[in-house]
Structure formats: structure tokens, C-alpha cells
């Protein structure tokens, strides 16, 4: 039936294709669960490192700015000092008080300039030291996070290595199955699955109850399910219901007896103990 138009499929074929799809999707979910939060953790660490790296470059360029400001101020000091020297030598050749006053004022002004520059250099030097501390801390952070990231990537790669082949096979199977199911049915199945907590959009009947939400299914509805003539959904959770036989699951009679037997033995034991107790009295 591989090349049949999905619309030509009988309800039974549709249901068993859906069941196969559900089985493959559940197996993929299981593999994803195995990876757990790891992919997200890796992503978070990558983002964090990127942020820290940006911060690192910003601090570096800040330091660069402060350093060039310091260099500029040093140049200004040199120029001012040269001026002071020149004015001082001119002082020896002054011809009047007015010239003397002008030169003295210039010297005073240049000396103040030098002091101001020295103050700016001191401030910038403090800033450079602060930023360098920041830089070292940021670098330490990056190294630490990088170690975490390497570790988590390795862990993830290991899990992926183990599951990739199987997952690729399952994904191909899903793709193939999806072409066999009519789009409208596939869409509603996907919608149900998305809304279901355990990712089950289709379940088989277990002990007269829905295998998804475990609410009892009325006998008439169970009969309808067994007929495979209509697509029937659980009236409580909306999951598509099929009978175990269609799912290739053996009737659960054997399974059902086991816990009962256990309960009986337990009950017998308790009864025995009670009897013993009453005998001792
Ligand atoms: Zn249900």
C-alpha cells in the first residue's frame, strides 16, 4: 500500500499508520529526553561567553583610550615645560616691568597646565588599573565558562553519537509515514499530540480505559473502537483511541491477572497473620 493515495486508505490502515507514527515520534521524544537540558545549557553558555567576549573587548578599548589620553597629556606637559624653560630664559633679557609681568603670568599659566595634566594622568592611571582588574576577572570568567562549555559539548556529543543513527532512522520513518496519512487527519493528530503532556496523540485502550488519561470508556464506545470503522477520540482528553490488537499489543488479560494474584497472596498472608494473631490470643 506504499503508493496508495492517503485518501484511499481504510480507517483501519489510517489508524495503524498513525499508531506507527506515534511510536516513532515517542521514540524520538525519548532520545530528546535523554539529551535533556544539555542542548539548552550549551546554547546558554555559548551566549554567555559571547557576551563576556564583547565585554572583554570593550574593556580593552577603554584601556586603550585611557592610555592614549595619558600619552597626549604627557606631550602637553613636555610642550608646557619647554615653554616654561623658554620664558624663564627670556626673563633674563626683559627690558621693563610689563614684559616681566607678562612672562611671569605665562610661566604661572604653563605651570598650572602641567599640574592639571599630571592630575588627569593620575586619574587615568587609576582607571587603567581598575579596568585591568576587570579585564583579568572577565578573562577568568571566560576561561571558566569555556571549560564548562567544552565539558557539556563533549557530554552532548557522546549522547548524540549514541542516538544519532537511530534518531535519523526514526526521523526518516516519520517523514515517510506522514506522507501516507491524509493532511487533515495528520494535522489534528499533531494538534492533539502537542496539547498532550506526554506527547501521545494516539493511545490504545488499556483495561477498558483511555491509555492516555485513564478514564473509563463506555462499552458501546469500546465496541466502536474495535470495529476500526471510525476514528474515535477519548471524550475526556481528546486523544485518538485504537484497540490494542491494532497496535500489535496482546490483550492484557495476562498482565491484568498478575497484580490481582499478588493482591490475593498478600491478602491471604494478612489473613494468615490475623489468624495466627487470634490463635495466639
Ligand atoms: Zn483520554
pLDDT digits (tens, 9 = 90+) for 92-101: 888 999 999 9
111 vs 262, more confident: 111
Q: Which residues are within 8 A (CB) of 136 and not within 5 positions of it... i.e. 6 or more apart? A: none
Residue 226 · residue 242 · CB < 8 Å? no
Model confidence, pTM:
0.58
Q: What is the pLDDT confidence band of residue 188, given thresholds at 50, 70 and 90?
A: very high
For residue 14, the CA-to-ligand 1 centroid distance in Å is: 20
For residue 219, the CA-to-ligand 1 centroid distance in Å is: 15
For residue 6, the CA-to-ligand 1 centroid distance in Å is: 26
CA atoms within 13 A on the CB side of 172: 6
Q: Which residues pair with 202 in a beta bridge?
A: 240
For residue 94, the CA-to-ligand 1 centroid distance in Å is: 109
Question: Is the pLDDT reported for residue 277 higher than 80?
Answer: no
For residue 187, the CA-to-ligand 1 centroid distance in Å is: 19
Question: Is the pLDDT reported for residue 281 higher than 70?
Answer: no
For residue 171, the CA-to-ligand 1 centroid distance in Å is: 27
Rg (CA), the chain: 41
Q: What is the pLDDT confidence band of residue 161, given thresholds at 50, 70 and 90?
A: confident
85 vs 36, more confident: 85
For residue 159, the CA-to-ligand 1 centroid distance in Å is: 33
Residue 223 · residue 237 · CB < 8 Å? no
**Residue 90: what pLDDT?**
93
pLDDT digits (tens, 9 = 90+) for 104-151: 999 999 999 999 999 999 999 999 999 999 999 999 999 999 999 999
Amino acid at each position: 500500500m506504499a503508493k496508495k493515495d492517503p485518501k484511499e486508505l481504510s480507517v483501519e490502515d489510517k489508524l495503524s499508520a498513525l499508531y506507527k507514527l506515534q511510536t516513532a515520534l515517542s521514540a524520538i521524544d525519548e532520545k530528546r529526553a535523554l539529551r535533556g537540558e544539555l542542548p539548552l545549557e550549551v546554547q546558554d553558555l555559548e551566549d554567555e561567553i559571547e557576551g563576556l567576549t564583547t565585554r572583554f573587548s570593550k574593556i580593552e578599548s577603554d584601556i586603550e583610550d585611557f592610555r592614549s589620553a595619558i600619552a597626549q597629556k604627557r606631550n602637553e606637559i613636555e610642550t608646557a615645560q619647554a615653554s616654561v624653560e623658554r620664558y624663564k630664559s627670556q626673563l633674563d633679557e626683559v627690558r621693563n616691568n610689563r614684559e616681566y609681568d607678562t612672562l611671569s603670568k605665562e610661566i604661572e599659566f604653563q605651570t598650572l597646565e602641567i599640574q592639571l595634566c599630571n592630575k588627569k594622568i593620575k586619574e587615568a592611571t587609576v582607571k587603567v588599573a581598575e579596568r585591568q582588574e576587570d579585564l583579568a576577572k572577565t578573562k577568568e570568567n571566560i576561561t571558566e565558562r569555556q571549560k564548562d562549555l567544552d565539558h557539556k559539548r563533549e557530554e552532548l556529543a557522546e549522547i548524540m553519537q549514541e542516538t544519532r543513527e537511530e534518531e535519523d532512522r526514526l526521523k526518516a520513518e516519520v517523514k515517510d509515514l506522514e506522507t501516507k496519512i491524509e493532511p487533515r487527519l495528520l494535522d489534528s493528530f499533531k494538534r492533539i499530540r502537542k496539547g498532550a503532556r506526554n506527547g501521545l496523540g494516539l493511545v490504545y485502550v488499556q483495561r477498558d480505559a483511555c491509555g492516555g488519561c485513564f478514564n473509563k470508556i463506555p462499552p458501546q464506545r469500546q465496541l466502536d473502537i474495535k470495529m476500526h470503522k471510525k476514528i474515535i477520540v477519548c471524550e475526556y482528553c481528546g486523544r485518538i483511541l485504537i484497540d490494542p490488537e491494532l497496535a500489535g499489543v496482546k490483550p492484557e488479560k495476562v498482565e491484568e491477572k498478575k497484580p490481582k494474584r499478588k493482591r490475593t497472596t498478600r491478602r491471604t498472608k494478612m489473613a494468615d497473620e490475623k489468624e495466627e494473631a487470634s490463635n495466639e490470643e
